[in-house]
Amino acid sequence: MKEEVKIFFTALMFYTRIPCPKHIDHSPEYINKATRYFPLIGWIVGAISFATFWLCSFVFDSNLAVIFSLLAGLLVTGAFHEDGLADVFDAFGGGWTKEKILEIMKDSRVGVYGVIALIVLFMLKFFSLRNLFSAVDEEKFYLIPLLFISYHSLSRLTAINIVFTSDYSRDDEKSKAKPIAQAHGFREIFGSYFFGLLPLAILCVFHWQFCCVLLPLILLWFYSKRYFTKWIDGYTGDCLGAVQQLGECISLLTFLALWKCM
């Protein structure tokens, strides 16, 4: 039990900026095991984002409340995944060989492809959340926190599936993502799927149609994995961040489309 607690706090420290006990460090062994709690971190980020939205909605209009909820998510994660998205768009937009793509991804500067990707990303998130909140009836407001937590957990499950089904692309030992690529067993896979799918399962108790969100996420996993393998023979940590962010947008857009069809 003590080891599981340490693994959880390792995940919390690695994937967020939330303070953790001083004895927790970046041990490669525990970072690799922390994969099982990656979607659970989505619960925490989603809950904080929803709490921010809910509190701000008492003071500001819904547009500002959505913006502050997105800002809360950025502060909690340190824009960890958004940085990966920008790097991936810059690298694959400007590189035509594996070596060049990997070189651009390691560059700390953000190029035009990354800037455009981030602008479109936040526009999609903002308008998807804004329209989703407008579509949900007041008597079903209890679904909003479930939707927040679900789109965060599902997007992280989609990203971690690439780890389970693909190879790590880089050969250098200095990459922060290297530890999570070394090994994964039943506990990592079971934990990821359990925490990734549980919020959606609860949502489906109220509206079974929400399970349809899995289809576009499976397509995102499949085509992302194939694309990364084609160009760089696997994935990097930035690739996982990009898939996670795309998974958030796809989940929100699918939830909105499903809600309007129900």
Residues 32-54: what's their mean pLDDT? 94
114 vs 137, residue with greater confidence: 114
User: Residue 176: its pLDDT value, please?
Assistant: 52
Q: Do 38 and 11 touch, CB atoms closer than 8 A?
A: yes
**Distance of alpha carbon 113 from the chain centroid:** 20
DSSP alpha helix (H) spans, 136-185 = 143-165
Q: Is 122 a residue whose pLDDT tops 90?
A: yes
User: Residue 2: its pLDDT value, please?
Assistant: 80
DSSP track, 17-75:
-----TT----HHHHHHGGGGHHHHHHHHHHHHHHHHHHHTTTS-HHHHHHHHHHHHHH
Q: Do 164 and 256 touch, CB atoms closer than 8 A?
A: no
User: Residue 178: its pLDDT value, please?
Assistant: 55
Q: Cα–Cα distance between 220 and 155 in angstroms, integer?
A: 10
Number of residues in the chain: 262
Q: Cα–Cα distance between 43 and 179 in angstroms, integer?
A: 23
Q: Is 120 a residue whose pLDDT tops 90?
A: yes
Q: Is 219 a residue whose pLDDT tops 60?
A: yes
14-49: string of b/e by CB count within 10 Å (b at 16+)? bbbeeebeeebeeeeebbbbbbbbbbbbbbbbbebb
Q: Do 213 and 154 touch, CB atoms closer than 8 A?
A: yes
Its pTM stands at: 0.93
Q: Do 90 and 111 touch, CB atoms closer than 8 A?
A: yes
What single-letter amino acid sits at 126? Answer: F
User: Residue 169: its pLDDT value, please?
Assistant: 85
Q: Is 174 a residue whose pLDDT tops 70?
A: no
What single-letter amino acid sits at 16? Answer: T
Residues 202-223: what's their mean pLDDT? 96
